[in-house]
Chains A and B, each alone.
Chain A
C-alpha cells in the first residue's frame, strides 16, 4: 500500500506516506470490525455508527485528496471548508435583516484571507481579520442606521469570522511555512499531525468517557462530558502524539507538550461550541454530514487547536521568523 501511495503522492515524504497508510488501515480495521459486529448481532441498531464510519471514509478521502494532490487545490479546499463553517455558524446565531451587507462583506473576507495565506504574506494574513475586518465591519453595520441590538451583531460577526475563517485559515498557513533543513515532511506533515491528533483526541475523550465516565465535568453545558473522559483523552492523545512525532521536527519533550496542548484546546473548542448549541436550543449545527451533524460538530475542536498549534510551532521550530535569542535578549 505504501508503494502505491508514494506513487500517488510522489512529492510527499516517507513519513507522511506512512501516516496516511496508518490512517487508512485503522479505518479499514474499524469498518471490518463493524461489518462483523453487524453479522454477529443483527438485532443491534448500528445505523448511526454505520453512518458515522461511512462519513469518516468520505471525510478522510476528501481530506487526503484536498491536502496532498495539488498545492493550490489545498488552499481552495480549506477556503471552502471555512465558507461552510462560517455560513453554518452565523446561520444559528440570529443576525438582523439589516446585517446583510456586512455579512456579504464578511463572506468576501474568506477568499482574501486564503489568498494571503497562499502568497505567504504572513504580516497581511495575521492582521487581515483581527485588525482590518475588525475596523471595517462595524462602520458597515452602522451605515444602515439600525442601532437596535447592533452591539450584539458587531460582536457576533467578528467572533464568527475569527473562529471559522481566521482560526481555520491557520491550517492553510501551515502549508505556507518555509522548508526547514533536515525536516522533509514540511507544513503538510505538521497539518497531518494536527488534524489526526485533534480527531483522535475527540474519539479518545468520547471512548474514555463512555467506558469510565462518572464525574461530570461541565454538567450544565455538556452532560456527557466527564473528568474521566477528559483526563483519559489528554493522556492517550499525548501518548499517540509521542508515537507520531516523526511527522514533526520537534524534540521529545516538545512533542509531549504539543500533544497535550492539542488535547486540552480540542476539549475547549468542543465545549465552547456545545455551549452555543445549548444556548440556541439545537442538537446539531446543521445536517451536512450524515451521522455527525454539521460541519462545526466535526471541526469544533479543530477551530481551537489549529491556531494554538500553529503559534506554538511558530515559536518553537521556525526561528527564521522569530529569532529566539532576540526575544531572550529583550527579556533580560
Chain B
C-alpha cells in the first residue's frame, strides 16, 4: 500500500500541529506515550465512547507517521449523509464510513465487509464497539462485531484504549467544551486467544474490566 503523501502531511498538520496543542493545553487531555504503535504493522484500536472528543483525542495521540493508515470507523448516517460531508470526513478524519443498518445481503456495502476490505488494504482501524456515545464514565455493553472481525483476520492484534473524562468535558448533547483533565490509557497490543467470537468478547471485556478497575473514575459518594 502506498503512502498518500499529501493526505499524510495534511493529517499530521491537522492533528499533531493544530489539534494536539489545543487539546493538551486548553482542554487538558493527558496523553500517554504510545510510540509502541509504530512497531505494529496493523492493529485495531478498541475504545470506549462517551464524546466527540474521543476520536479527536485518539487521533492526536497516535504517532504522526502512522496517522494516514489509521481509519476511525464512523457511522455513514452521521458523518456521510451528504457527499460533501463524506468527502471532508474522509480527507480530514480519514474515516471508514459504515452503514449501521446494513445487512449481509448488501455485499460490499455490508459494514463488516467494508471493514474487512480496509484491513486487507493494510489499514488499521479505530472502533467503538459500544456503538454510540454513552453516559459519561459509564460503559455500555459492547457489540460483538469486533470479535467477528478478529475471527476472520487471525493474527490481527487489538489495542484496548480506555478513556476517562471525555464525557465530562464534552458530553453527548453538550455544546461547550469544559476544560477537564481527561486521560487516555493505552493497553498492550494483544492477539485474540481463541477463534470463537464469544471467547474473544469475554477476553476484551476482561481487558476493559481491568482498566476500569485501575483507572476508572469511581463515584466515591456511595459509601456513606
Does A56 touch B at the CB level, under 8 Å? no
Contact between B181 and A91 (Cβ–Cβ < 8 Å)?
yes
13 contacts between A and B (CB under 8 A): A84-B28, A87-B179, A88-B181, A90-B180, A91-B180, A94-B221, A95-B168, A97-B168, A100-B171, A100-B174, A104-B178, A286-B30, A287-B30
Interface string of B141-174 (1 = CB under 8 A from A): 0000000000000000000000001001001001
**A91-B165, A286-B30, A287-B30 known; A100 vs B221 contact (CB < 8 Å):** no
Does B5 touch A at the CB level, under 8 Å? no
Does A149 touch B at the CB level, under 8 Å? yes
Chain B residues with a Cβ under 8 A of chain A: 28, 30, 136, 165, 168, 171, 174, 176, 178-181, 217, 219-221
A87 CB contact (under 8 Å) in B28, B171, B174, B221: B28
Contact between B171 and A97 (Cβ–Cβ < 8 Å)?
yes
Interface string of A92-108 (1 = CB under 8 A from B): 10110100100110010
Does A159 touch B at the CB level, under 8 Å? no
Closest to B164 in A: A91
Kindly list 5 other residue pairs between chains A and B, CB separation below 8 angstroms, not including A91-B28, A97-B168, A288-B30: A87-B28, A94-B217, A95-B168, A107-B179, A152-B221
B180 CB contact (under 8 Å) in A87, A149, A152, A287: A87
Within A98-120, the residues touching B (CB, 8 Å) are 100, 103-104, 107
Contact between B178 and A103 (Cβ–Cβ < 8 Å)?
yes
Does A63 touch B at the CB level, under 8 Å? no
Contact between A97 and B221 (Cβ–Cβ < 8 Å)?
no
Contact between B181 and A94 (Cβ–Cβ < 8 Å)?
no
Determine the chain B residues whose CB is within 8 A of the CB of A310 once the complex forms: none
Determine the chain B residues whose CB is within 8 A of the CB of A318 once the complex forms: none
Within A115-167, the residues touching B (CB, 8 Å) are 149, 152
8 tightest A-B CB contacts, nearest first = A91-B181, A87-B179, A87-B28, A286-B181, A91-B180, A287-B30, A100-B178, A149-B221
Interface string of A288-310 (1 = CB under 8 A from B): 10000000000000000000000
In the complex, how many residues of chain A place their beta carbon closer than 8 angstroms to a beta carbon of chain B? 20
Does A227 touch B at the CB level, under 8 Å? no
A104 to B219, CA, bound (A): 22
The residue among A91, A107, A149 with the most chain B CB atoms within 10 A of its own CB is A91
Contact between B174 and A94 (Cβ–Cβ < 8 Å)?
no
Does A68 touch B at the CB level, under 8 Å? no
Determine the chain A residues whose CB is within 8 A of the CB of B176 once the complex forms: 104
Closest to B217 in A: A94
Closest to A287 in B: B30
Closest to B135 in A: A97
Does A83 touch B at the CB level, under 8 Å? yes
Closest to A94 in B: B220
Closest to B176 in A: A104
Closest to B27 in A: A87
Task: Give chain B nearest CB distance to A283 CB in angstroms.
Answer: 13
Closest to A93 in B: B220
Closest to A286 in B: B181
Task: Give chain A nearest CB distance to B213 CB in angstroms.
Answer: 12
Determine the chain A residues whose CB is within 8 A of the CB of B174 once the complex forms: 100
Task: Give chain B nearest CB distance to A32 CB in angstroms.
Answer: 29
Closest to A107 in B: B179
Determine the chain B residues whose CB is within 8 A of the CB of A91 once the complex forms: 28, 165, 180-181
A107 to B136, CA, bound (A): 21
A90 to B136, CA, bound (A): 16
Determine the chain B residues whose CB is within 8 A of the CB of A286 once the complex forms: 28, 30, 181
Closest to B28 in A: A87
A107 to B179, CA, bound (A): 9
A59 to B220, CA, bound (A): 34
Closest to B167 in A: A97
Interface string of A76-94 (1 = CB under 8 A from B): 0000000110011011101
A164 to B221, CA, bound (A): 24
Determine the chain B residues whose CB is within 8 A of the CB of A83 once the complex forms: 179
The residue among B165, B176, B178 with the most chain A CB atoms within 10 A of its own CB is B178
Task: Give chain B nearest CB distance to A23 CB in angstroms.
Answer: 26
Contact between A94 and B219 (Cβ–Cβ < 8 Å)?
yes
Task: Give chain A nearest CB distance to B216 CB in angstroms.
Answer: 12
A97 to B178, CA, bound (A): 11
Task: Give chain B nearest CB distance to A228 CB in angstroms.
Answer: 34
Within A43-75, the residues touching B (CB, 8 Å) are none
A260 to B178, CA, bound (A): 40
Closest to A89 in B: B181
A107 to B217, CA, bound (A): 22
A103 to B174, CA, bound (A): 14
A87 to B26, CA, bound (A): 10
Determine the chain B residues whose CB is within 8 A of the CB of A107 once the complex forms: 178-179
Contact between A87 and B181 (Cβ–Cβ < 8 Å)?
yes
Determine the chain B residues whose CB is within 8 A of the CB of A103 once the complex forms: 178
Task: Give chain A nearest CB distance to B101 CB in angstroms.
Answer: 30
Task: Give chain A nearest CB distance to B106 CB in angstroms.
Answer: 38
Task: Give chain B nearest CB distance to A106 CB in angstroms.
Answer: 10
Task: Give chain A nearest CB distance to B14 CB in angstroms.
Answer: 24
A301 to B216, CA, bound (A): 29
